[in-house]
Structure 1
């Protein structure tokens, strides 16, 4: 079959609403990655590579991004950031190939969600291990406290996603339709104001895979300039604190909204 053009692909793989999904589209996807993926799709849509295989590859790349942080110095952080850009690209491409072929499936959605859980957790655990100084770059022994805090951040990142996903699980098991966007607004005016403030600050995004990889790269640059792991360890503490706080705030937000009604 002839290779489709970008113009032919666009209306099929980017149907109306894809880039405007309130919680389903990453800002980097809207900003640049969806355009880049459109130029990758033509080389994949007529091959034997399946959308689920692309999702599996996405997971492998994301986990390798977390493992890359075990490489000391700036090179490990740069590699992790690059791998998470590839991870995001594959996250766009797998769904686009599925839409072009008419192969979207519940299995694909499930694998995609599991992949995000695993990869973002791997990145934050890798960040914690980086701060623990496994190879004794900054001391005579490994400081496992930083590995623990990295794991706390990873657990928080998973729980934040799980809290959102479990709303649909609870509604489905109760025979209710999928939640609408307006139901996410807290019934309390005070909580609604706090939610808008948190959304404006967007601090919670720092525990997401793309944002965290860029944050880790930034603190690695600062560490290189200073010659130690001070900023990495400070960053681990910051991400762990954000993850714990956001886990609690997100749970309260869900319980105080109409999403479970």
Structure 2
């Protein structure tokens, strides 16, 4: 049964990145009540996976503006599935697992697709930049998921990561900056813009990871020590 809930309560303000909170949630929170009576949360996750893989395929094919638009649609759908689950009162561990896995599959596929696109113009720099970005993203994701398993709550990106929230802290920020690079590449026809975007996001992601390690140590120091693993 779908429950009535104010739009402002459908999001996750403690863990949402700023682009999700200010851009994607205002759209998804209006879509979710429309689809919740007809679609389960896991089905919405499946549609999000299809959109994300379509965005990666468009990027690999050299269609930058299409890739930017479709990956933005994926970002909205990645909010819809959780909102549908909350509206239907059907949140579950399986849904949480599938949502996280789809987010990671799509981001890995998207970054690899960017490397494929860049390889046409930059046979060496393109793949190298993509691999550095992929490694940095995976380390950031692992840090966030390990924090959740160790501390029993989501990593508070908006409070702990500061300015990095607008740059690399969450996939919403990374997708937004990379999409900007894709759009500029599509408009100008200059692949160097996308290469610069990938390199910048990769470099800032590494700095973000170092900042996060320090932030977690500080958070842990303010809490009572738990049992050793």
Bin of the TM-score, shorter chain as denominator length: 0.7 to 0.9
Distance 1:55 1:26 in 2: 19
2:53 paired residue among 63, 67, 70? 63
CA 1:223–1:22 in 2, change beyond 3 Å: closer, same or farther? Answer: same
What is the root-mean-square deviation in Å for CA atoms of aligned residues? 3.2
- Tell me, yes or no, if structure 1 residue 39 matches structure 2 residue 30: yes
Given that 1:14 and 1:96 are in contact with CA atoms closer than 8 Å, whether structure 2 keeps it comes out as: no
Deviation of residue 55 (structure 1)? 0.9
Q: Which moved more, 1:113-122 or 1:210-219?
A: 210-219
5+ residue gaps, structure 1: 172-176, 186-194
TM-score by length of 2: 0.78
Given that 1:120 and 1:209 are in contact with CA atoms closer than 8 Å, whether structure 2 keeps it comes out as: yes
5+ residue gaps, structure 2: none
Secondary structure of 2:5's counterpart equals helix
Q: How many residues align?
A: 222
CA 1:46–1:204 in 2, change beyond 3 Å: closer, same or farther? Answer: closer
2:83 paired residue among 96, 100, 104? 96
Q: Which moved more, 1:95-104 or 1:238-247?
A: 238-247
TM-score by length of 1: 0.70
In the alignment, what sits opposite 1:127? 114
CA 1:29–1:245 in 2, change beyond 3 Å: closer, same or farther? Answer: closer
1:104-183 matched pairs, under 5 angstroms: 104-133=91-120, 138=121, 143-171=123-151, 178=153
Secondary structure of 1:21's counterpart equals coil
Structure (1 or 2) with the larger CA radius of gyration: 1
